[in-house]
Amino acid sequence: MRRLETERLLLRGWLLDDLDDLFEYAQNMDVGVMQGWKPHESKEESLIALNSFIVNDESWAIVLRENNKVIGSIKTSPDENRGRYYAKYVSYVLSADYWGKGYMTEALNRILKYVFEELNIDLLSAFHYPHNTRSKRVLERCGFQYETTIKQGQKIYDGQVFDTVCYSILAEDYFKRVSPQTARITDILKKIVKERIEDGANEKAILTFPATALSFASISIFPG
Ligand SMILES: CC(C)(COP(=O)(O)OP(=O)(O)OC[C@H]1O[C@@H](n2cnc3c(N)ncnc32)[C@H](O)[C@@H]1OP(=O)(O)O)[C@@H](O)C(=O)NCCC(=O)NCCS
């Protein structure tokens, strides 16, 4: 699995050695409930969860680089609701001891860079319950936009049913945010390629399109 670094964090695959750190934060009543899962009551419960994280190659442990401690997790999964687009959704959780320090914003920004610049996905979505204002703020800080509220979207472990609020960010909006210049060039390239196709250019002609310009624009100009 791809290791991702930020100034203060390392995002890496989970290890059995992470059990104590996972159990430490997963016991907290305020943490898992916001994602719909029951706070862990024993290390055995954490071990079962840890096993599922280890075998999932889209589930990263968030490690604080200064002391090598696991302080949370972030995971991407296929978003099946997006027709032909290559879309994923992201979910995340942070140990309550580390809230209010910008760690999740830092981790999520790194995931955005990875999924849009390396995996070339079209859209990343995220969901939170209406009362989860902390998560809403993380998403807004990272450039996500409110999309819709799904009524009675999820029943959580104790039987309560909550609406789920959906946020998302499109690739084009991500690139506009991180590099307005690249986004402009990509728009221009798309327009030129479209004109060439309309003029009857064959595949070979399109492939001879200036490679240097294409590599400068880091998203695909041939979506889908
Ligand atoms: C959602 C959750 C990760 C948000 O944690 P958080 O600490 O509020 O988010 P961040 O790590 O991005 O920190 C942002 C806060 O740190 C502050 N901060 C301090 N230093 C900062 C920095 N260098 N950069 C950015 N923000 C910083 C910000 O002002 C912000 O506080 P504010 O929202 O009160 O203004 C956390 O509440 C959580 O794990 N909740 C339980 C699980 C959950 O809800 N998951 C989401 C559902 S999928």
Cα–Cα distance between 184 and 76 in angstroms, integer?
28
* Separation CA 88–CA 90 (nearest Å): 7
- For the record, the structure tokens of 204 come out as 């070979």
**pTM of structure:** 0.86
> In angstroms, what is the span from residue 210 Cα to ligand 1's centroid?
43
- The pLDDT value recorded for residue 183 is 76
E strand intervals along 129-204? 145-155, 161-170
pLDDT, residue 9, reads 98
Residue nearest to atom 7 of ligand 1 (CA): 99
From 134, 154, 157, the mutation candidate for ligand 1 (largest count of ligand atoms within 8 A of CB) is 134
What's the confidence (pLDDT) of residue 102?
Answer: 98
From 135, 141, 142, give the residue whose CB has the most ligand 1 atoms within 8 Å, as the site to mutate.
135
- CB under 6 Å to ligand 1: residues? 31, 34-35, 91-94, 99-105, 128, 132, 134-135, 137-138
Angle, to 10 degrees, between the axis of helix 180-198 and the axis of helix 171-178? 130
Percent of the chain whose predicted confidence (pLDDT) is above 90: 71
**Closest by alpha carbon to 65, among 36, 113, 89, 98?**
98
224/83 Cα distance (integer angstroms): 11
Query: Average pLDDT of the chain?
Result: 89
The phi and psi torsions of 116 (rounded to 5 degrees) equal -90, -35
* pLDDT computed for residue 192 by the predictor: 86
Nearest CA to ligand 1 atom 2: 135
> Cβ contacts of residue 92 below 8 Å, gap of 6+?
72, 73, 74, 75, 104, 107, 108, 138
How far away, in angstroms, is 186 Cα from ligand 1 center?
Answer: 33
Residue 217 backbone dihedrals phi, psi, to 5 degrees: -85, 110
Ligand 1 centre distance from Cα of residue 100 (Å): 5
Alpha-carbon gap, residue 187 to 178, rounded angstroms: 15
Give per-residue burial for 46-57: e unless 16+ CB within 10 Å, then b. beebbeebbeee
Q: Give the distance (Å) from ligand 1 centre to CA of residue 139.
A: 10
* 3-state SS, residue 128: strand
Distance 142 CA to ligand 1 centre (A): 11
pLDDT in tens, 96-147: 999 999 999 999 999 999 999 999 999 999 999 999 999 999 999 999 999 9
Sheet (strand 145-155) strand order? 4-5, 9-12, 59-64, 69-78, 87-94, 123-128, 161-170, 145-155
The Cα 153–Cα 138 span in angstroms is 20
Could you identify the residue written with the tokens 């320090």? Answer: 101
Question: What is the predicted pLDDT for the residue at 29?
Answer: 85
3-class secondary structure, 131: coil
Higher pLDDT among residues 170 and 209, named by residue: 170
Share of the chain above pLDDT 70, in %: 89
CA of 78 to the centre of ligand 1 (A): 24
